[in-house]
Structures are given as C-alpha cells and as structure tokens.
Chains A and B, each alone.
Chain A
Amino acid sequence: MSPWFALVARDLQLAWRQRGDLFLAVSFFLLVAALFPFALGPEPNLLLRIGPGVVWVAALLALLLSLERLFALEQEDGSLDLLLLSPLPAEALVLAKATAHWLTTGLPLVLAAPLVGLLYTLPPGGYLVLLASLLLGTPALSLFGATGAALCLGARRGGVLLPLLVLPLAVPVLIFGTAAVDATLAGLPARPHLLLLGALLLIALPVAAVAGGAGLRQAAE
C-alpha cells in the first residue's frame, strides 16, 4: 500500500475506533437544519424556498466543527514531524488528511442531506441535484478547510480563527451549490452550476496542496 493510502487508511481506522464521534457532525447538521423552522415559522412555501440554502449552510458549519482537530492531534503527539520527515511531501499529506476528513465528515453529511430535504418538503426532482451538488461541493470545502487548519496550526485561539479564514473562501461553493438546487426547482438546467462547482473543486485541489503544504512546513519549523 502506498504511503498516501496508508495515511488515509490510518485516519479512517482512527475515526472508526471512535465511531460515536462520526455521528456528532451529522447530529449537529440535522440540529442546525431543524432550528430554522422554529425561528422562521413552519410555512411550507417559505421552507421550500430556503431549504437548499439551509442544507448548504448547515453542512458548511458541520464541516467546520471537526476541522480544528485535523492536524492538532498529530502536532501534539509529535507524529506530524515524523510525517513531514517521511518521503511523502507535505502537499500530499494535506490532500490525504483532507480526503480522510471528507470521508469521515463530508460523506455522512451528504448521506444525511435527503433527510433535511424531507423536512423542508423538497419535491422529488430536487434530491438528485442536491446530492450531486453536495458531492461536488463538500470535498472542496474539506480542501479549503484543510488549508485553513494547516495555517492556523499552533495559533492562539485557533478555534475562532479558523472559521474566519475558511468562511470567505467557502462563499463561492455555497453560492453555486444553492443555485444548482434552486435552478432545478425553478425548472431550469442545473448543469452550469454543477460544472462551476466542479471547477471550484479542481481549483481547491492545488490551492489546498500548495498553501496547506506551506502551512504545515511553517508549523514544523
């Protein structure tokens, strides 16, 4: 097994050993999504109108929760230094951690998203596009998040700092993700929005690798 896959497998194994934590992000996601009807009232038309946006905002917030710990554990027990000394470049390290983060946090959120759609009376035609947009968008969010987490490593109050860095970068994903579902609901093609989401994912890959890798090296200096 190549070192990259070994690293991803290790993170997945660690997550599986504490599988109770996997449900924390999903529970948070569902809870945030359930708050809006309480605050805005249960009128079906309104809920349908805000539904796609709520799914995306809740998913973004839930993804942020676990980001702070992405590299912090490795830094505390010193394994980060060993990983950086390994033949695996820091860039690949960031991509591996982001992949593991998406598999353990992003994918469960995507699977739970139809449930939220149900709460918001999403018509049957919207689910496929909602899932497609989340499948394209959440990996980009994990990548931007990993970049921020690498840069914040060792900072004072990293937990507050991290959202401040990541949220502005996440705005385009939010815009096109919501627009894709809204377009489908309005009877328009969702394809352009999904293509733009894919483009954002392709931009996020090198950005996370280069910027996140630089951040990790700085943290280890």
Chain B
Amino acid sequence: MTDTTTARSANLHRLANPGRFLRFADRIYPWCFGTMLLALTAGLVGALALSPADYQQGQSVRIMYVHVPAAWMALFVYLNLALASASLLIWRHPLAGVAAQASAPIGAAFTFLALATGSLWGKPMWGTWWVWDARLTSVLILFFLYLGYMALSNAFENEERGRRAGAVLALVGVVNLPIIKFSVDWWNTLHQPASVSRIGTPAIHSSMLWPLLVMALAFTLFYVVVLILRMRSELLAARLRALGRLAVEGR
C-alpha cells in the first residue's frame, strides 16, 4: 500500500525535475511535430478541397474549419492554464508556473484567431463584423483575461511572485469558462448553438465532421509543440541566469 502510493506520487512528481522534463520533452517533440504537420496537411486538404460547400453558406463555411478549433483551443488552453495555476498554488509544482506562463500567449493567440475568423465569417453571413451577443462578448472577456494574466505575471521583478499572482488571477477567471460554454443556451443569441458535441448524432454531416476533427487534432498538437518550445527556452534561460550568477559569485 505504502509502496504503491510512494510509487505513484514519485511518478506524478517525476517530471517536476527540469532536466528530466527537458529530456522527456526532447523525446516526444519530433513525434508531436510530425503528427501535427500530417494532421494539418490532411485537415487543410479536407477542409478546403474535399468537403462540400454548405447549401446556405456557400464557400464561407470553410472558415469554420479554422474558427471552431481555434475557439475550442481558446477554452482548452485556458483550462490548462487554470489547472497549472492550481497545481502551482497547491503543490508548488516548480514547472507548473512555467507551463502556465508559456500557455498564456498561445491561448491569447487562439482566442484572437477565433474572434478574427468569426468576424470574417460574420460579415457575409450576418452582415456585420461584430454583434454584442453573449457568446462573442464572453470570448472577448476571455481574451482580456489572457492579456491581464500576461501583464500581471510579467509585472514583478521576482518571477516566482509574478507567476503566483497570475495563478490566482487565472483561477478567478475560470468563472468565465462555463459562461462561454453555455452562453448560447442561456441567452437567445445570434451565434448558433453547439452542433458537434450534441449527445447522440452530431448535427453535422460526416464529410464536414472529419476535416473539422482532424483540424482540431492539428491545433491541439500545435499547442503542445509551441508549449514545449516556450517551456524549453524559458528553462534554458533560467539555467543561463543561474550560471551567470554563479560566475559572478565565483569571481
């Protein structure tokens, strides 16, 4: 009993060692990068060439293959940011703060992409670039939350303090996630309700569904790839700073 508990907690904290994390990250990085390229190519071909045009929306429906995965990722990355923040505050996991800080700009970029593509789609479909509907407004607030997190976590001389202050803010902002998810059900909005995650059969034909899911896979892997790159450079920068301090003290 004690043995398994120790083994499990050892397993959980194994990656807390930056050197071990870097070796692990180096090993999975090429696989993630390769799969991402394959999925992105397949997804783009499927989305732009193979899938049919919509009978109402025409060719504009193809914007959806970027818009929907980007919006999913905006929420998913924020969830990750919040989980990493929680594990930083609760267990003081040394890499969680780095992961959270590295995730934020990626999530902000996905959120911006979702807003921008939605706006491009809205002009021909709704006749306007922007409406103040509940879904759009709550995603805009998500974007500002990302910006606030990035500003706060970089605003301190002491990096650790910045990460922990940012972590508290990220956890407060989690309230927004269910609001975004259910905004299309709670309010009568212009934005259409979810059609993929409907229980039973999705309200979307399989010829449109598979490129969408492949694109979502590509976007997720893209997040993993960029996250590894950003975390690696941050850890190496921290090591450089430590070496620099040692060199100064040794002199």
Contacts and interface: CB of A to CB of B under 8 A. Distances in A.
Interface of A: 147, 151-152, 154-158, 161, 164-165, 167-169, 171, 203, 207, 211, 214-215, 218-219, 221
A167 B140 CA distance: 12
Contacts of A219: 161
B217 interface: no
Contacts of A157: 155
Main secondary structure of the interface of A (DSSP, over half): helix
Contacts of B172: 147, 169, 207, 211
Given A165-B148, A171-B141, A218-B161, A211 B156 contact: no
Interface residues of B, number: 23
Nearest to B137: A171
A211 B171 contact: yes
A152 B137 CA distance: 25
Contacts, number: 58
A154 B156 contact: yes
Contacts of B171: 211
Contacts of A161: 151-152, 155
> When A and B form their complex, which 3 residue pairs have the shortest distance between CB atoms, in order from nearest?
A155-B155, A168-B144, A165-B148
Contacts of B162: 155
Contacts of B152: 151-152, 155, 161, 165
16 contacts: A147-B172, A151-B152, A152-B152, A152-B165, A154-B161, A164-B144, A164-B147, A164-B148, A164-B151, A165-B151, A165-B169, A168-B173, A207-B172, A211-B168, A211-B172, A219-B161
- Among A157, A164, A221, the one with the most B-chain Cβ atoms within 10 Å of its Cβ is A164
Q: Report whether over half of chain B's contact residues are helix, strand or loop; otherwise say mixed.
A: helix
A151 B137 CA distance: 25
B183 to A, nearest CB: 12
B89 interface: yes
A169 B147 CA distance: 13
A157 B162 CA distance: 13
A214 B167 CA distance: 10
Contacts of B216: none
Interface string B139-154: 0010011011001100
Instruction: Tell me which of A169, A203, A214 has the highest count of chain B C-beta atoms within 10 A of its own C-beta.
Output: A169
B164 interface: yes
Given A155-B155, A171-B141, 14 more contacts: A151-B152, A151-B169, A154-B156, A155-B152, A155-B156, A156-B156, A164-B144, A164-B148, A168-B173, A211-B168, A211-B171, A215-B165, A215-B168, A218-B161
A141 to B, nearest CB: 14
A164 B173 CA distance: 13
Contacts of A203: 175
Query: Which interface residue of A147, A151, A219 has the most chain B CB atoms within 10 A?
Result: A151
A159 to B, nearest CB: 11
Interface string B204-239: 000000000000000000000000000000000000
B89 A214 contact: yes
Given A165-B148, A168-B148, A151 B165 contact: yes
Contacts of A215: 165, 168
B136 to A, nearest CB: 13
A203 B176 CA distance: 13
Given A164-B144, A211-B168, A152 B161 contact: no
Chain B CB count within 10 A is highest, among A152, A154, A168, A214, for: A168
B165 A218 contact: yes
Interface in B113-162: 137, 141, 144-145, 147-148, 151-152, 155-157, 161-162
Interface string B170-207: 01110110000000000000000000000000000000
B115 to A, nearest CB: 15
